[in-house]
Structures are given as structure tokens and as C-alpha cells.
Amino acid sequence: MSNNRFFKKPGTGGVIAPHDRSAWIKGGNQRCVMPPRKPAGRAWRIILLGAPGVGKGTQAEMLCERLGPCHLSTGDVFRAAKGCRGVHRSTAMKRAQEHMKRGNLVPDETVLDIVSERTQCLNCSGGFLLDGFPRTVMQAEALEHLLGSLDLKLTAVIDYELPSEQIISRISGRRTCALCKTVYHITTRPPTVANRCDHCGAELIQREDDQPKSVKVRMEAYQKSTKPLIEFYRQRGLLHTIPAAGLPEEIYQRTRLTALARH
């Protein structure tokens, strides 16, 4: 699963090769085909935290394109596991599939086993950006041990924050095409024709988990589960809290100046 774009690294005039995430997505004997990054030894190793709707996905894309780390999302692995196309069916992946089929969360131990099967991705020459992992202190402790065994250190843990009412407004304004799944927003990215997809003309719908009541429940669950994790990284001097209000470019520059300027 590759990003087919080439992009310029700011200030270098050079071109960074597109990310090949086959090893992360599929596991098994898959290997990355990324050329070594230059300058040698410059690798960003970042963990992103942030509630649903805070804009974390947009920032992940911008950080990876401009700084070069590979975007490693456990959500992508689990979505690939559901399809089973080209995915290595290790014992851990089979357990994950069983939990997902029953509608259960994948337990810590299984998530850790899946990540541990992909240590070559953590050791990528360009670094990594972890999204969706770790989610608990247990996972964070295991990751700390795993990185230590690889003689690797985290650069930063970035926690994007936005007031709950703004997050609820962002998510509850989303509309999704019932056919091609393109996402719109009623105020910030409306379709040309009301309630109709610009691409295929199908009806736009509001997903059940995008409704205000559902968003509030998701927010409360996130804050409850993530609070100990935030404290874990604060004690290690790695946590940087970034206000997520404003345009994506403003938030990116805030991240660079606040969380990554010393590195």
C-alpha cells in the first residue's frame, strides 16, 4: 500500500521517495523498499494523540510528507485484516480478526504482538509516526521496552487539544457520500448541490457515530482512557500539548515550533 506521490522536503530542494507501507500493512515477509534517508541518522519518531475529530489525521499526513517519517496506523492494519487480502495471517492477526468479528476491541496483548511482528517498520531509516498506538499505559510501557531493545528513542509525543464543543461541531457537521464515501462538512466543505455528492451524485448521510450524542460519548471514553497515557509521557518529558484550533497549516507550524524545534 503505497503513497504514489513524490514530495519535496522543505529547504532541501530534494525529493523524498513515496512511502511503501507494505511491511506494516501486510506483515509477514513483506519488506519496505524505501531508500535510506539523508542526512543519515535523521529520523523522527513521533506518537500522535488526540480525540476523534481534532484533526490528527490531517496533521499526520503533513508531518509525514514534510519530515519524512512513515505513517504507522494500527487502524490500517486492522482494516486490512478484515479484508485478508495479502495480509500475513499470523496467530496474532487471527486473534485480532476473531475479536473484530465479535465486535470487540482488540486486547492489549494482541495489539502488542501485532506491533512486535513489525519491528522493521519501527527501525525505518526515516523514522515513524505512530497513530492509534499506544492507547493504554500497558501498551506504552511495552512500546518503551520494544524500542529500547532496538536502541531507539522517541522524539516526541504530540497531544492535539481542542475544546469539546468545537470537536462536537466539527464531527456533527460531517456528511458522507452513501456510495463513494467522500466526506464533506456542512460549513467548511459543503457539496456544490445540497445533500448530493460532487463526484457521483449520491445522497449524503450523517453517520450514526457522527451525531452529537454519539460524539460526546466517544469524547468521554477517549478522555478517560487517555488521561493516564498523557501523564505517562509527561513524566518522561516527551509530551507536547498543541492547541488544534485554526487552519491545518497554522497547526502544523505550531507543532514544528513547539514540539519539534529542539530536535
Average pLDDT over residues 226-248: 94
Q: What is the DSSP letter of 17?
A: P
Q: Which residues contact 190 (CB under 8 A, 6 or more apart)?
A: 184
The model's pLDDT over 107-127, given as tens digits with 9 standing for 90+, comes to 888 889 888 888 888 888 888
> What pLDDT, on a 0 to 100 scale, did the predictor assign at position 28?
65
Mean pLDDT of the chain: 82
Burial class (CB in 10 A: 0-12, 13-18, 19+), 237: exposed
Name the residue with higher pLDDT: 93 or 256: 256
Question: What is the pLDDT confidence band of residue 204, given thresholds at 50, 70 and 90?
Answer: very high
Average pLDDT over residues 84-98: 76
At 87, give phi and psi (nearest 5°): -90, 130
Average pLDDT over residues 246-257: 93
For the annotated catalytic residues, the residue numbers are 56, 135, 174, 207, 218
Q: Which residues contact 175 (CB under 8 A, 6 or more apart)?
A: 183, 184, 185, 186, 191, 195, 204, 205, 206
Q: Show me where the domains of the chain are located.
A: 7-162
pTM for the whole structure = 0.78
Radius of gyration of the chain (CA): 19
> What pLDDT, on a 0 to 100 scale, did the predictor assign at position 11?
42
- Please give the class, per CATH, of domain 7-162: alpha beta
Question: What is the pLDDT confidence band of residue 78, given thresholds at 50, 70 and 90?
Answer: confident
Rounded Cα distance between 67 and 42, Å, is 10
Does 171 score more than 90 pLDDT? no
Q: What is the DSSP letter of 148?
A: H
